[in-house]
Copies of this chain bind each other. A is one copy, B any other.
């Protein structure tokens, strides 16, 4: 993510999780913990471990030099281990030999990534909870706010804004569940040595691995997963699903914000959403950023599936393709969630415009209500055809549907004027919207 764009597309806290410093520090955290537990297990001298640990401070390392040196060996771990060993050697020559003991580059790089992901999950869990909360609040507050339901971008039947928010909430509740499952499976230590056998540790491999997992507070996998990338690919999948819902919300909001629709608006802030040339515009910036994420993440997630086909004990190129891809997905997810939370939390709702829009078809929108009222008497198909004809007449004449229906004897024979008026009132034709909202809110509450 370009430095000039990261403020727009992600959050500062998530940016910090994947900063240059964090990436280095998380690798050093692995090396320090490794030394510590190996000292405990009697694999390396405690004094060496102390010295190694004292050198594991990201600020002591020259990031551009590491980046440049990474080109030779093809990854960051090689030059970092070299640099760490050099620093250790300055303080304690003997200790330098115990740096990175028994580990391979992928152990440190993968575990460092998992540590970053743990921080990321913490942030995303909180973000998801906030977004769910905002959707729940909206569902409750707008429970009875009638608006046009739209299918294939055509008005279909009345719904409520509360119901729309409840469907967003409903997805979010599932995402919270998915995230918990994914977190549990994916936050696993990587530690296998050069070919995944921990051969260099002799018999003490499993003991060191278990201690290392405890020390880093990660789960201990049954075996190393150097070339089994399903854990990381699953992270991408779950975040992809989350961003998909964020994008869905953004799509809905931006359609409601259209100049001609004007039913709801992202909150405005000074300068927010202004145009460089059009003084009156109120651009849906939060939707824009979220839709950009929802456009990008599916493709990035594909890469995480494609890379699963790795060769033997360490993949050639597939592993390397993850390094920029997975963090980018996480950054975009954080950005999208932040934007939608900000949008929903202070959404400006215009129920008047919703009412006006509900009447824009002059009653055509309510045709199904009349069909269903007539169907028990006429049969469903005849009723449907009768209304279809009436709708066409109303459209052709530019008249309200009510005018056509009340002039049609086939209808007036069966329905009184009062019954017809009631049938044509949107707020009387909301079906189970209220009960659906309640169900979604209850599920949401039970999650906490």
Contacts and interface: CB of A to CB of B under 8 A. Distances in A.
A226 B151 CA distance: 10
A5 to B, nearest CB: 6
A25 interface: no
Contacts of A340: none
A448 interface: no
Nearest to A69: B271
A412 interface: no
Contact of A100 (B153, B243, B380, B391): B380
A110 to B, nearest CB: 13
A311 interface: yes
A432 B194 contact: no
A39 to B, nearest CB: 14
Contacts of A365: 280
Contact of A181 (B96, B181, B277): B181
A174 B225 CA distance: 12
A323 B230 contact: no
> Which of A8, A64, A443: most chain B Cβ within 10 A?
A8
Nearest to A105: B276
A227 interface: yes
A47 interface: no
Contact of A193 (B18, B73, B243, B277): B277
> Which of A185, A237, A309, A387: most chain B Cβ within 10 A?
A309
Given A98-B380, A327-B2, A225 B167 contact: yes
A431 B303 contact: no
Contacts of A306: 244, 294-295, 298-299, 306
Contacts of A287: 316-317
Interface string A73-113: 11111100100010000000110111111111100000000
A5 B67 contact: yes
Kindly list the 4 A-B residue pairs having the minimum CB-CB distance in the complex, ordered from nearest.
Answer: A291-B317, A97-B379, A244-B308, A199-B431
Given A2-B18, A201-B431, 12 more contacts: A2-B327, A8-B75, A85-B380, A159-B313, A171-B230, A194-B275, A200-B369, A223-B437, A247-B309, A292-B318, A294-B317, A302-B302
